[in-house]
Amino acid sequence: MNVADEACRLYAKRFCIETFFSDQKSRGFHLHKSPLSDPTRLTRLLMAACLAYIWIIYLGALCEQDGWVSIIHRGDRCDLSLLQLGLRLLDYLLNEGFTLPVAFYISI
């Protein structure tokens, strides 16, 4: 693989990474508004936010898989990310008194 091909391959990953950063900041958890400056505390916040992110993405995927989209969003089409679907599903489940699905597995 030449240098140009490698650069293109790495650049393609940028879009997934930027989506994650914007979900952590302005479109999701609003971490950019945290007043924390201590590196240890900031690290703990980021770890907790990443674990919460995985769970919310799981809820978004569950939402699509189990047909919740038409209940929490428009029925004709869905223009929400998995994060936004997961957040809306979480809100719906909490407000309606449903049990929260928390049993999921991550293979590493």
What pLDDT, on a 0 to 100 scale, did the predictor assign at position 66? 87
What pLDDT, on a 0 to 100 scale, did the predictor assign at position 16? 63
Radius of gyration over every alpha carbon of the chain, rounded to an integer in angstroms? 17
CB within 8 Å of 62: residues ≥ 6 apart: 68, 86, 89, 101
* pTM score of the predicted model: 0.72
What pLDDT, on a 0 to 100 scale, did the predictor assign at position 94? 94
Ordered mean pLDDT values, 10 residues apiece, the chain (108 residues): 84 71 74 87 90 90 87 74 89 93 72
Distance CA 28, CA 83 (A): 7
What pLDDT, on a 0 to 100 scale, did the predictor assign at position 73? 81
Domain residue ranges of the chain, discontinuous segments joined by + = 3-96
